[in-house]
Structure 1
Amino acid sequence: MKAMMARGWGLVVAAVMLMGASLPASAEAVTEEFKIASKWPGQNLYLRNKHPAALYDVKPEKTVLFLHGATYPAHSSFDMPVDGQSWMDWMAARGYDVYSLDIRGYGKSGHPPEMSQTPEANPPVVDTSDAVDDVTRAVDFILSRRNSQRIVLVGWSWGATLAGSFANTSQDKVERLVLYAPQWLRDVTPPSDADLARVPAWRQVDPRDAREIWLKAVPEAKRDATLSKAVFADWLKATIASDAEPAVPNTVRAPNGVVLDTMRYWASGKPRWNPERLSVPALVIQGEWDAEAPPSMGMRLFNKITSSPYKRYVMVGEATHAALMEKNRKQLYQAVAEFLESPVPQR
């Protein structure tokens, strides 16, 4: 392990380099881990990177940052090997310089002190605005490190909200945008002020429940084939291990700022970000059996992307919200790579 200073930042960064970790034997790659400062003292951000060992030519379209959803961290999903290869592995083997970020309060990133107190003792922590600040710091670190100008953002669920929100204010730093299983407006009864006032600082989550939630819309006879119990067990182990100080064994803590934002915006008929303002190429991609962000939701968002020079919608058949580790995950990987590698059509 070595300490290094990010160029011009004054941030202490710890890096670990592992040759060929989790990659096929034929693909020589490097894994690096960083802790970069957030704007909150003592609450550093965990950033994982995988790239080819021979990375000589850094290109914006080949530099990718993965952003996770509202409940679980990035590293235990985007870098969770299935049959020996994670999505990050697959991208690195294809020549990408790929990163994943754990937002503050999740996984290996620092946690707000409120998350060591009882949930009801404080208001919700780490909302979308806070998380976008984390994304900004991660993007700036990557661009400074690579002496580059732009990056690709791949956001999953709430991560798509973060990616879109960042692009709304910093499109000059975004090469392309991938919105995977994105949030959009929900057809529900808007919450009352009393409902909003009752949201605690954080929540305790049992990840053992995730498989049943993800497979909710999958026909019973196809559930085991869609997301095998063995793969889920591996994800479960990595996810539980991501929280060093769980409130209860075999659970993870998650900030509730995103819950309050969902109630204030998506459940109240108000978009959290403005897709009409996107002026970068954008992909909306979803699973056919996604019960949390169904295809109809993604299509409504897709139709709002009116100023992008190039947009694409893809549905992955027989896939759920967790398509990245399911049987049809390679369809997701390949569709994203094809979008990133396709030239923007001339108008």
Structure 2
Amino acid sequence: MPTRDMLPTPRRAFLAGAVGTTLVGTTGVTASSHREETRDEPNEKRTRPSWKPPAHDLEMDDGHRLRVWERSPEDPEEAVLFVHGMTYGGVPMFDPPVAKDFGWLPYAAARGQAAFAPDMRGYGESEPPREYSEPPEANAPPLSFEREARDLLEVTRWLREDRGFERIHYVGLSGGTWRGRAVYELADPGYETVTLAGGSLDTLEVGADPGGPAYLPHQREEFLAGWTGEIPEGRDHDEWIGGGAFTASEIQTAVWRAIFESEQALESASKSNDTETIIAPFVRQEREYHPKQITDPTLVVRSSSDETISREGALNLYDAVGAADDRKQYREIAGGTHFSFLERTRHEFFHAVHDFQRQH
């Protein structure tokens, strides 16, 4: 979640799971299979810690493995598809190991919804692109919004046909708002509602240089600076982030643990300089992906102290969404940064989204 000014290249960074974005044309997703895991089943390289939620592995049409995390109650009637941003994967953004029921996935599950959070290609514990085994300058960015949109359409198909959910809500966080726009550019997924959280229109540049690099190394210090740098000057970090229940360090350490203890860890860099480093993917954008394609009920939500997404950009996004005026809403959460969903204001953030979903 570095800001643009923190990047060593002149690309805009999308926080909350965001560094760059890339898009490539691909064939449609047709075949799918999944392998369900219990908490104790081994991952390819390590045993998954007990604090990570249950997971499924889906195979995309090109054979690529996508990991989908799940928190669900008994007999849920609807599903929520949570899509992370452009730097960090599903677990650190939606279910970090801070405390029981801290994150957005357990919040949704406690309200009767089946909550799913895929790790997009190159993130978390999904299969990394082969280019990530080489230095970043050796390859062009292998990821694209269009490929990601096709993957999300396949996850949606799996939720409907294999899991039996007729009602599916979409929640896109930061760069996940662009992924949602790409989904609607390719097809009509028929979501019950769409939430675009921490997204912008026109005022935020996305899309990686198609010539490369494929990714950037991203260190723990950059993660911390990108987050705390948005807290207003003079405010106590422990109070702003933890709200008295936790310290800032407790939350940020747990979130980083979930980021680094995944396939995103750049182990060679970490061993060489003793600094914990991850791969920050770049994603190509090859179309506009205008939100006018989104005609399902839509909520655009922004936090008031978000320095990555301006109020102007968020309101422009709201205006551009294709849903009729009586089918879309704009909400602003007071006193949160671009990481509001991990801060003391997170429950207000969650409530706003859940209330909108209940209206439709």
The two structures have a TM-score, normalised by structure 1, of 0.81
Partner of 1:58: 77
Structure 1 counterpart of 2:347, which letter?
K
| Matches of 1:311 and 1:135, distance apart in 2 | 22
Report deviation, 1:171: 2.7
Partner of 1:4: none
| Matches of 1:45 and 1:176, distance apart in 2 | 24
Map 1:4-23 to 2 at 5 A.
11-16=33-38
| Mapped pair 1:330 → 2:351 | no
> C-alpha offsets along residues 31-77 of structure 1, whole Å, 9 cap, x if unaligned?
53101112333x3001011111x21x523xxx101101111111121
Pick one of 240, 243, 260 that aligns with 1:240.
260
| Matches of 1:284 and 1:338, distance apart in 2 | 13
Partner of 2:169: 152
Report deviation, 1:163: 1.3
Partner of 1:180: 197
> C-alpha offsets along residues 288-312 of structure 1, whole Å, 9 cap, x if unaligned?
1111122221111101124335111
**Greater helix share, structure number:** 1
Report deviation, 1:116: 0.3
Aligned length: 307
Using the aligned pairs only, state the percent identity.
22
Partner of 1:34: 56
Asked whether the 8 Å contact 2:190–2:296 carries over to 1, the reply is no
Partner of 2:224: 211
Map 1:211-290 to 2 at 5 A.
211-224=224-237, 225-227=239-241, 228-243=248-263, 245-246=265-266, 247-249=268-270, 250-257=276-283, 260-261=284-285, 272-290=288-306
Partner of 1:113: 130
Consecutive unaligned residues of structure 2, counting only runs of 5 or more, are: 1-29, 41-49, 242-247, 271-275
| Matches of 1:244 and 1:292, distance apart in 2 | 23
Q: What's the C-alpha RMSD, in Å, of the aligned pairs?
A: 2.6
| Matches of 1:335 and 1:129, distance apart in 2 | 29
Q: Secondary structure at the match of 1:184?
A: coil
Asked whether the 8 Å contact 2:175–2:199 carries over to 1, the reply is yes
> C-alpha offsets along residues 104-136 of structure 1, whole Å, 9 cap, x if unaligned?
111100011111011111111111111112211
Q: Secondary structure at the match of 2:235?
A: helix
Distance 1:136 1:306, change over 3 A: closer
Q: Secondary structure at the match of 1:222?
A: coil
Report deviation, 1:237: 1.3
Q: Secondary structure at the match of 1:80?
A: coil
Q: Secondary structure at the match of 1:114?
A: helix
Higher relative contact order (CA 8 A, sep 6+): 2
Report deviation, 1:336: 0.5
Asked whether the 8 Å contact 1:160–1:182 carries over to 2, the reply is yes
| Matches of 1:340 and 1:83, distance apart in 2 | 25
| Mapped pair 1:46 → 2:59 | no
Partner of 2:312: 296
Asked whether the 8 Å contact 1:125–1:202 carries over to 2, the reply is no
| Matches of 2:317 and 2:130, distance apart in 1 | 35
Consecutive unaligned residues of structure 1, counting only runs of 5 or more, are: 1-7, 24-30, 266-271
| Matches of 1:335 and 1:183, distance apart in 2 | 18
Structure 2 counterpart of 1:218, which letter?
I
Structure 2 counterpart of 1:220, which letter?
E
Q: Secondary structure at the match of 1:313?
A: strand
| Matches of 1:204 and 1:317, distance apart in 2 | 33
Asked whether the 8 Å contact 1:81–1:87 carries over to 2, the reply is no
| Matches of 1:274 and 1:202, distance apart in 2 | 25
| Matches of 2:32 and 2:251, distance apart in 1 | 40
